[in-house]
Amino acid sequence: MLKISTKAVLATTLTGLIIATTSSAMAETNWQKNHPRRAEVNHRLNNQDRRIHNEVKEGEMTKQQAGQLHRQDRQIRQEERDMASQNGGHITKQEDRTLNQQENHVSQEIGK
């Protein structure tokens, strides 16, 4: 049990560090500059997608489990698009927090 919890915490921490370091080091496009919250959400979703693929590749997750997590990520991505469409292409701080909470849940599932 401790191994799973530690792995989930490590994965979440690593994700946060990656976002913090790559977001400032990455060459930003105009869209990313104009939509920083959306860019962060999408970056996390892309990172989680890679993590899911790696878990399957390493045999730590079945394709069925991966499919469920991919579906959850697609739902989050669609929710992000729906939120943005209601606010001139932007998402609010509260919407960003809500999406991040959902992404945290999926991230923890990947690490199990």
Least confident piece of the model among 3-17, 21-35, 70-84? 3-17
- Asked if 42 and 77 touch (Cβ cutoff 8 Å), the reply is yes
Quote the pLDDT of residue 4: 55
**pLDDT exceeds cutoff 90 at 55:** yes
Query: What are the domain boundaries of the chain?
Result: 2-110
For residue 23, how many other CB atoms are within 10 A of its CB? 14
**What is d(CA 9, CA 25) in angstroms, rounded to the nearest whole number?**
24
Rounded to two decimals, what is the model's pTM? Answer: 0.69
Lookup: tokens for 76: 């989050």
> Amino acid identity of 8?
A
- pLDDT above 90 covers a percentage of the chain that reads 54
Lookup: tokens for 59: 């045999």
Q: How confident is the model at residue 22 (pLDDT cuts 50, 70, 90)?
A: low
Quote the pLDDT of residue 111: 76
SS3 92: coil
**pLDDT exceeds cutoff 70 at 47:** yes
**pLDDT exceeds cutoff 60 at 2:** no
